[in-house]
Amino acid sequence: MELTLPPDATPFADALPRVTDRAFARLAEIAEITGEAKPLRIGVSGGGCSGFQYEIVLGEAAPDDLVFEQDGQKVLVDPVSLPFLQNAVIDFTDELIGARFVIENPNAASSCGCGTSFSV
């Protein structure tokens, strides 16, 4: 896995999030189905039932993104979200209740049942 750090990421270099092989594999599957490789953008914004919510979308890279790359697939984290995602694990799960990208975040003091909203 290759990693591209934006200049603002230096204070967080020892606590960067990690992206699993399953997440990269799912991105490759999506690229094969759609015919184009789009990066997965992970962000945190205010809102949701617990105070903050994850934004997980296929999108375009910005110049100041933290970029994780493996086998031509990319996962992006914007610099504003980076402090909320220290030591988090970005993964993909396929269970009976559905398939989705998930974030295991050790910084979350609590989260809601949907898994997309959390508090710190």
- List the chain domain ranges: 2-119
Q: What is the rounded distance in angstroms from the CA atom of residue 105 to the CA atom of residue 14?
A: 15
Q: What is the rounded distance in angstroms from the CA atom of residue 72 to the CA atom of residue 86?
A: 24
pLDDT in tens, 37-81: 999 999 998 765 557 888 999 999 999 999 999 999 999 999 999
Least confident of 10-19, 24-33, 64-73, 105-114: 105-114
Residue, of 90 and 3, whose pLDDT is higher = 90
For residue 54, give the 3-state DSSP assignment: strand
Q: Do the Cβ atoms of 92 and 99 come closer than 8 Å?
A: yes
- Topology of the domain covering 2-119: Hypothetical Protein Aq_1857; Chain: A; (2.60.300)
